[in-house]
Amino acid sequence: MQRREQLECTYKGIPRESIPWYPKVDPKKCTGCTSCVEFCSQGVFTFDGVSRVTKPYKCVVGKTSCRSFCPEKAIIFPTHSELKETLAKLRERYSLKE
């Protein structure tokens, strides 16, 4: 059985840091309300005058829930179709089945 640390470092067998799925904060839209920091149970965001993504690979692959909590719509993610395409390429690269 895999240890928890190993599971957290991969997504379906793909190294998590190979997957470009994480939020970005538009500093022009961010008003510093800290909704994202308070909402994110993974600790992806920190706040120092504006919200910043400081632990991007802690973000749960495919999830965008924090985006809906931002009143200014300052949180941006790749599209799900981009994610699907990226995962297909990575599965091929790492010789994994779907």
Classified as helix, coil or strand, 62 is coil
Total domain count for the chain? 1
CB within 8 Å of 59: residues ≥ 6 apart: 21, 22, 23, 42, 44, 53
Measured over all CA atoms, what is the biggest interatomic distance in the chain, rounded to whole angstroms?
46
Answering whether pTM is above 0.75, one says yes
* Residues β-bridged to residue 32: none
CATH number of the CATH domain containing 50? 3.30.70.20
Quick check: is 1 in a domain?
no
Quick check: is 45 in a domain?
yes
Residue carrying the six token digits 């706040």 = 47
Q: 5 pLDDT band (50/70/90 cuts)?
A: very low
The average confidence (pLDDT) of the chain is 93
Quick check: is 90 in a domain?
no
* Residues β-bridged to residue 15: 10
Quick check: is 9 in a domain?
no
Quick check: is 27 in a domain?
yes
Residue 70 structural domain: 21-81
- pLDDT tens-digit readout, 28-64: 999 999 999 999 999 999 999 989 999 999 999 999 9
